[in-house]
Amino acid sequence: MAVTGNGTGTAGGSRGPLAGVRVVELAGIGPGPFAAMLLADLGADVVRVDRPGGGGLAVDPAYDITNRGKRSVLVDLKSADGPARVLDLVERADVLVEGFRPGVAERLGVGPAACHARNPKLVYGRMTGWGQEGPLAHTAGHDIAYIAVTGALGMIGNPGEPPAVPANLVGDYAGGSLYLVIGVLAALQHARATGTGQVVDAAIVDGTAHLTAMIHGMMAAGGWQDRRGANLLDGGCPFYGTYETSDGGYMAVGALEQQFYDTFTELLGIADRAPARKDAARWGELREAVAARFRTRTREEWTAVFEGTDACVAPVLSLREAPHHPHLADRGTFTDFGGIVQPAPAPRFSATPVAVTAGPARPGAHTESVAADWDVPALLPKED
């Protein structure tokens, strides 16, 4: 496993393609902080504005990896001078990220109009579940509700059973954080070309719906049934799914193309009785044969059988096991920084390499350095 440091790095360093980009993050939870973490991973100087008393995840801030590589200052936006202190930061920033419900930032005095009055070039990134407008815009929600109404949740799981919940990866992070980052970077390019900033309205429902584009195309063409476990990529076909091994582990099979299917059935030991790949009428028979074979050996044994082949088969690993997979370890996909095993920054860059350079920002820990670097003396405590 790659090791990039011992936890003593300094946030706001010069590494990465976003070196020199300044980001103000108004503290929140979920997809907003993850998006800001990604910007920090890519080299941006991210200053997180934390509220006195906290309000983030119910974990020790030292373990909140979504705050790695950032710096933190404490500002009470409900105090008399709170909005002015944030606007002082905004005046010197390229990007602002917030995840309040629609209208809250405006009521606090740090909405788009107030920020653009101080900095017309600012990219103002807004992260919500429902978006800034629409019948549900002011309604509370979480990842599971957002992916439910887009049709994404309904695709996941076995037929005849409740949909399977994919943690908060599909909505919060894929449909939310990543689309916010894409929008922010696109708007940043526009701002630098034209001198004009704008608001990026990143709604999890919009991003998640966008992720299903290929499926909608397949459905329109008659190649996808609008129900779970009946299609090529949702576990409906026996050569794209998971199977239990003799020791209670699982193997994942994705032998979609003919040449991969042939290799898979040969190595599994059923080539002499496996039906034609496209013979859907015999898929039930094939599934039973595949399941029976996988139950004859352990996960480790089957991993050895398929390792390095084009059968498109892999062991299903746990979160703790994943960093030790030989391929991921060789690439340094995970890193140990400050004693916390965590995913390394992604993607990778040939000219401006990225790395974890600082651990999770403790609330208010960087007030002095930010005040000096950003020339915002108002951040410092007032002397008696």
Output the 3-class SS for 46-86.
EEEEECCCCCCCCCCHHHCHHHECCEEEECCCCCCCHHHHH
Interstrand relation of 250-254 and 240-244 (parallel, antiparallel or unpaired): antiparallel
Backbone angles phi, psi at 251, to 5 degrees: -120, 140
Exposure class string for 291-320: b at 16+ Cβ within 10 A, else e: eeebeebebeebbeebeeeebbbbbebeee
pLDDT-based confidence at residue 136 (cuts at 50, 70, 90) = very high
Within-domain flag for 144: yes
pLDDT tops 90 at residue 294 = yes
Task: Please indicate, yes or no, if residue 218 is contained in any of the structural domains.
Answer: no
- pLDDT bucket at 97, cuts 50 / 70 / 90: very high
| Residue 215 tokens, joined | 């499926």
pLDDT per residue over 315-334, tens digit each?
999 999 999 999 999 999 99
Residue 369 has pLDDT above 90, yes or no: yes
Tell me the catalytic residues.
142, 172
* pLDDT tier, 186 (very low <50, low <70, confident <90, very high otherwise): very high
137-174, pLDDT tens digit by residue? 999 999 999 999 999 999 999 999 999 999 999 999 99
What is the arrangement of strands in the sheet containing 340-343, beginning at the earlier edge strand? 2-5, 334-337, 340-343
Q: Tell me how far CA of residue 112 lies from CA of 51, 86, 104, 126, 226, in angstroms.
A: 20, 13, 11, 10, 40
- Whether residue 273 is found in the same domain as residue 169: no
pLDDT for res 265? 97
Does residue 55 have a pLDDT over 90? no
Q: Could you tell me if 86 and 24 are in contact, meaning their C-beta atoms sit under 8 angstroms apart?
A: yes
How far apart, in whole angstroms, are the C-alpha atoms of residue 359 and residue 339? 10
Decide if pLDDT at 9 tops 90: no
Q: Residue 127's beta-bridge partner residues?
A: 202
pLDDT reported for residue 5: 38
Convert the pLDDT of each residue in 253-286 to its tens digit: 999 999 999 999 999 999 999 998 989 999 999 9
Q: Quick one: average pLDDT of 172-196? A: 98
pLDDT band of residue 59 (cuts 50, 70, 90) is confident
Q: What is d(CA 116, CA 197) in angstroms, rounded to the nearest whole number?
A: 8
Q: Is 146 in the same domain as 188?
A: yes
Tokens of residue 373, six digits: 């670097």
Q: Examine residue 242 and state whether it is found in any structural domain, yes or no.
A: no
SS3 of the chain:
CEEEECCCCCCCCCCCCCCCCEEEEECCCCHHHHHHHHHHHCCCEEEEEECCCCCCCCCCHHHCHHHECCEEEECCCCCCCHHHHHHHHHHCCCEEEECCCCCHHHHHCCCHHHHHHHCCCCEEEEEECCCCCCCCCCCCCCHHHHHHHCCCHHHCCCCCCCCCCCCCHHHHHHHHHHHHHHHHHHHHHHHHHHCCCEEEEEEHHHHHHHHCHHHHHHHHCCCCCCCCCCCCCCCCCCCEEEEECCCCCEEEEECCCHHHHHHHHHHHCCCCCCCCCCCHHHHHHHHHHHHHHHCCCCHHHHHHHHCCCCCCEEECCCCCCHHHCHHHHHHCCEEEECCEEEECCCCCCCCCCCCCCCCECCCCCCHHHHHHHCCCHHHCCCCC
Taking the C-alpha atoms of residue 366 and residue 49, their distance in angstroms, rounded to an integer, is 10
Kindly state whether residues 145 and 118 are assigned to the same domain. Answer: yes
pLDDT for 83 beyond 50: yes
Please check the confidence at residue 8 and state whether its pLDDT lies above 90. no
**Does 164 share its domain with 204?**
yes
207 and 105 within one domain: yes
Q: Both 189 and 111 in a single domain?
A: yes
Q: Residue 53: its pLDDT value, please? A: 81
Using one digit for the tens of pLDDT, what is the confidence trace for 213-242?
A: 999 999 999 999 999 999 999 999 999 999
| Residues 20 and 110 grouped into a single domain | yes
Please indicate, yes or no, whether residues 143 and 67 belong to a single structural domain of this protein: yes
Pick the residue with more confidence: 107 or 11? Answer: 107
Which tokens is 338 given? Answer: 């400050």
* Residue that terminates a domain, selected from 260, 283, 315: 315
CATH number of the domain where residue 300 is located: 3.30.1540.10
> What distance in Å separates the CA atoms of residue 35 and residue 26, rounded to the nearest whole number?
12
- Residues 155, 280: one domain? no
Task: Work out the pLDDT band at 297, boundaries 50, 70, 90.
Answer: very high
How many domains are contained in the chain?
A: 2
What distance in Å separates the CA atoms of residue 191 and residue 37, rounded to the nearest whole number? 22
CB-CB contact of 13 with 43 (8 Å): yes
Cα–Cα distance, 163 to 149 (Å, whole number): 13
Q: What is the dihedral of CA 73, 74, 77, 79, to 10 degrees?
A: -130
Q: What is the mean pLDDT of the chain?
A: 94
In a shared domain, residues 304 and 336 = no
Structural domain of residue 13, as residue ranges? 2-212+332-379
Q: In this predicted model, what pLDDT tens digit does every residue of 11-44 receive, in sequence order?
A: 544 489 999 999 999 999 999 999 999 999 999 9
Q: Do 48 and 167 fall into the same domain? A: yes
